[in-house]
Structure 1
Amino acid sequence: MKLFFHFPPNNDMMDTGSIKRKGKMPLFWHFMAAEKTENWMLHRKVSTTMNFIVPAGYTPDIDLKETQIAIKVVKDFFQKELTKQLNLTRVSAPLFVTPESGLNDNLNGVERPVAFDIKEGGRKAEIVHSLAKWKRYALKQYGFQPGEGLYTDMNAIRRDEDTDNIHSIYVDQWDWEKVITKEERTRGTLEETVRAVYKALKITEDYMAYEYDYIGHVLPEHIEFITSQELEDRYPDLTPKQREYEIVKLHGAVFIEQIGGKLKSGEPHDGRAPDYDDWKLNGDIIVYYPVLDIALELSSMGIRVDEISLHEQLKAAGCEEREKLAFQKALLHGELPYTIGGGIGQSRICMFFLRKAHIGEIQSSLWPDEVREEAKKAGIPLL
């Protein structure tokens, strides 16, 4: 485990004029431009099993019970705002699917799903990694038309996840998907939808800052756009994660486009399964999170593959055998609608808006004993 201590800036760098709640000053208040900030990270290596960041002087602004109440406030408000911005209807979703359906999300292609056998019928099932492919099938089944979409509460187990302050083996997110026309499969459609999602995030932060005096504002007024290749060209000597940190520290909120395909360096910016996102029409919403001094991904989204891009990406990934699976076969035969969709982590959204240091303050999951011990010493209450 690597333990990081994070020291906040001097008070004279912070706008505290709007703080109404008495007590300790929030660790951060407003987003600060990169030229006014420094890197306050001091690293102390404890062991090598995982990463764990402790912001120096961090104490939760609200207790466990208040946090549970605030979580519901965040979820209820953001969910309502997202559905309004994107014209979405809530539907029920599966916790598990069969392997032969091809509906499970293969993520980066190496993660193992949690699988089990079913007594009746002798079938096997897998806990979903996400509902990226299932949603497209559901849009057809429920008869959604262009301009209409669905969202659902998705719960998943990712047994091979490398856990840290923002990653857990338990994943809870809003999965959403919307029908578009073939003509709308453009970068313009993607960026317009990104702005709508970001607007929901910004309005939610405004509401939470009004309800809870300590929260303040971190998100800038507008989100910036940059492709993964432009980002590599700008920071050729940095890793993808380091590039994300530099660009988001500069702008506050960035949508990094075109993730999955190889860049000029020969490596992709990040891994993406070849059979849901079109790698030329997707990306991640990333924001600067000052509590941990990190680039924090809040949403992964994109226009989904059509018949041509599905075949090309399966070939590029060496996964052409997937064309025989039910979902992929239906796509290749033009039986499913053209769509745009994404996932937004519920616990991560709550962690961000409530200014928490660890996702374990929001959700109940499993953590290594040494992490629980260090968190307890640091005053970080893991559920």
Structure 2
Amino acid sequence: MVDIFSALKNGQGAVSIFNVSKNVSRNQLAAQLQTDFQNKVQNAETQVQDRLNAKMAIVDRKGKAFSDLTKNLREALDVLQNSRKRVESIERRLDSMMLDVNRAQKSFDDPDTDFQAEGYARAFDSGFRSIDLAISETRVSPNLLNNSTYPMEYPTNSNGGYSSFFGVDLSANYSLEEAGGEVWKLESSGSSIRRYDADGNETNVVASFVSGLTLNSIDASDNVSFSVGSDASSSTTYNATIKRAGIGIMHAWAYDDLATDSGRARALEDLSSAKSIAQLEVTRYEVVETSLKFYLEKAKNEIDGINQEKVNLQRELMTELYDKRQKLQQQFQATQSNLAQAFLVRSNYASLIPSGSMGDFFNLLT
């Protein structure tokens, strides 16, 4: 294919119609000129697009690293915030249980009130069960409120750095261990406690918190004596040591069903300790939450910068392409002008030189 941009120029850069074959029409030359122009524009676009794609690929790889970082940080933040809100709900439940104890004390102290401890004890046990529900019912993983073994891991940068946050067991759980190896464990229903033999086998001895379980004594080391049975004549007495887990509170039976001053005092003391644990946990969560938000904001800023870098790259290369198109357009227009001038010169020669004796020369020109 003839390159018209060069074919219409002689060594001095001036148009020479003699460089063009005599059987090439003006329309053919114009069509060839247009084709050459379009090919040059297309080549320029291809070169610019290839460079843009190569540079974009590098930026996109960097952007993906920060996109993954942002995703992982948001997931960790979701786990942390969900867990913190559940700890705060436990704190509110502890406040409600303390209120039950104080109401029982107020009723006990009021000489005009027929004090009945049972209603306050049942409300207290309801609060106990609600704490376990707040801990166990969650959509996030890991469940930071009932284990201190498996941490939540979260990234700290796009290069693979990470940190770990360990939860604390906040469950309301306990067992009773007898000297002979027998153990009393809470039933899943939350309304009773069952005795297991020394080999860990389940027995049919079950004590309900509503009736049939009476605390006889308790000392500072949590050694207890308690009776199981519907009445004093048919009840059986057991001795054991309380093994507390989680936040260390127990059902109302362990506090004399809130019927005595000493029982209510022990309940308030345990609830106060449990609340302090919950408050400390909320503070820990808030500190890590602040760190996660910092890392997330930093990652988002990096992504914003990368997006701006992509915009700048596109603008830079599009500007370059525009300049090349303009230059090619100017060359195209100049060549079109030269072509028109060349055919005008040939037309003038045709009108000045008569056919006949100089016909061969004219034919060379035409």
Normalized against structure 2, the TM-score is what?
Answer: 0.21
Q: Give the structure with the larger strand fraction.
A: 1
User: Structure with the greater relative contact order (CA < 8 A, sep ≥ 6): 1 or 2?
Assistant: 2
Q: Give the structure with the larger helix fraction.
A: 2
